[in-house]
Every structure is written in C-alpha cells, then in structure tokens.
Amino acid sequence: MSGSIFVGPADRVFVLTGAGISAESGIRTFRDAGGLWETHRFEEVASPEGFARDPRLVWKFYSQRRAQMVDCQPNAAHRAIGELGRELGDRLFLCTQNVDDLHERGGSSQLLHMHGELGKTRCQTCCRPAFADTSGYLDELPRCTCGGALRPDIVWFGEVPIGLSAIARALDEATIFVTIGSSGAVYPAAGFVHAVRHHARAIYVGPERPDNDWGFDEVRIGTAVEVVPSLFQVPDRAAS
C-alpha cells in the first residue's frame, strides 16, 4: 500500500524521526555504511565515561558536528513535516532523535529533541539551564561560571532521554504513528511502535526495513525526500 495517509479531523499524529531524515541534507547517519559509529567508538565520544576520560576528544567530535550542521540545509522532508505542523497544530507531536536543528529550520516550531541538541551546551555541575552555543571547542576546554565542566547538551548512552512523560502521553493519544529514517536499534525510541500497536496505524519510512519492523503495519521503502512530501493528506489542504 503506498497512497497518502489520510489525516482526519479526529486524528492525532506522532512522528518520530531519526538520522535518516537528515541524510539527504548531508548529515551522516550512525549505523549505515560510512556512518559515524564506523569511524568513532560511541563509548569514547558519546558516553559520560568517555567524557570523564577524554573531554577534549568529546568536544572535538561535537565541535566538528556543530560546524557541519551549520553548512547543511533542511530538505523537502523536513519542510513537509514543518507544513504538517502548521496544518495540525497540537494534533502533531514531533519527536526527533536527531540533535541537529534541521526540523526547526525546515519550519517546525513545536518539537521534542529526545536526545538533546547539538546547538546547546550545559554545565555538568550546576543547574544553569542549557544555553545556545555553537562554538567549536578544539583547544581550550570550556568551563561554566561556577567552575564546573561544560558539556554538549546531548543525551549520551547510559543517560535518560528527555521528555519521556510527554512522549508517553502523546503515544497514548496517537491514532497515526510514523517513524522516518531510524534503524530501530536504540531504545527507548525503538519501542515506541510497540506502545501504539493496539490503537494507532504505524508506518515506517526509509530505504530499508528497520530492526523493529515487526511492529509496523506498513513499511514504505524509499528515502525521506522521496516519500515524506506526499505522505500525508490533510483534508483542508486537499480542498484548497
């Protein structure tokens, strides 16, 4: 089945995005051939233990990611999700595992970055809120005014993702659940499809089947840019 998904007035849509939605914008995924975890050990650059052992290496890794993000542009899939948000308002819950800002630049104003944000930094010690920061820290290790170590505002392996209560509520309410470009290898996000199994239609979009494909009603094979712009049909849009 490959037609558009009809979004009726009573529907609530949960969209989960992964690295695949940003792949066509030039941001490397993690687990594909040539993905980030092929050239970096995630224990070293994406864990609290790695940061404690070698904060310079961790900052070098995220500084490179920050520099790359600035050069990348949102693609048609990000823009289509931005438009869907304008049409559905709070009937769309957009949750991304991505730490880039391409959804925002693609027009999404309401979204949850469950794995943090590349463009923010926070203090490891004090409760100062995370702040916008795209500096590249390649030599000096940055320190907070409290003296504590500053770290990227990223949820690392072994840490608890952001917004799990809001996510659980939105999953409960969803009637349509769509995952775009995520391998289904990392929990808890890979388990969201299980949570909606009995009350929502679940669709996966990506160039290959994800590890958790058993949970989806449909798998649409194609890239985000190929599939997402025509994925949703919202009645008002069809009428206009």
Identify whether the C-beta of residue 163 lies closer than 8 Å to the C-beta of residue 114. yes
How many CB atoms within 10 Å of residue 170? 22
Q: Based on CB atoms, which residue is closest to ligand APR, 91 or 205? A: 205
The encoded tokens of residue 200 equal 């929502």
Residue with tokens 């391998």: 183
186 binds ligand APR (CB under 6 A): yes
Nearest approach, Cβ of residue 240 and ligand APR (Å): 28
User: Which residues, numbered 92-121, are part of the site for ligand APR (CB under 6 A)?
Assistant: 97, 115
Strand 92-96 relative to strand 112-113, pairing:
parallel
30 binds ligand APR (CB under 6 A): yes
Q: Based on CB atoms, which residue is closest to ligand APR, 54 or 208? A: 208
Burial 171-180 (b: 16+ CB within 10 A, else e): beebbbbbbb
193 binds ligand APR (CB under 6 A): no
Residue 68 three-state SS: helix
87 binds ligand APR (CB under 6 A): no
74 binds ligand APR (CB under 6 A): no
Nearest CA among 14, 16, 27 for reference residue 75:
27
Q: Is 194 labeled as catalytic in the residue annotation?
A: no
Stretch of 122-130, 144-152, 165-173, 203-211 lying at the interface with ligand APR (CB under 6 A): 203-211
Stretch of 3-11, 30-38, 133-141, 169-177 lying at the interface with ligand APR (CB under 6 A): 30-38
Distance between CA atoms of 84 and 91, rounded to whole angstroms? 10
44 binds ligand APR (CB under 6 A): no
213, containing H or E segment? none
Residues 31, 60, 128, 194: which binds ligand APR (CB under 6 A)? 31
Residues 137, 183, 220, 232: which binds ligand APR (CB under 6 A)? 183
Residues 12, 13, 16, 20: which binds ligand APR (CB under 6 A)? 20
Distance between CA atoms of 215 and 157, rounded to whole angstroms? 24
Residue 76 three-state SS: helix
Q: What's the gap between Cα 113 and its chain centre?
A: 6
The encoded tokens of residue 173 equal 């309410």
Q: Binding residues for ligand APR, per CB under 6 A? A: 18-20, 23-24, 29-32, 35, 97, 115, 181-183, 185-186, 206-208, 210, 223-224
Catalytic residues: 115
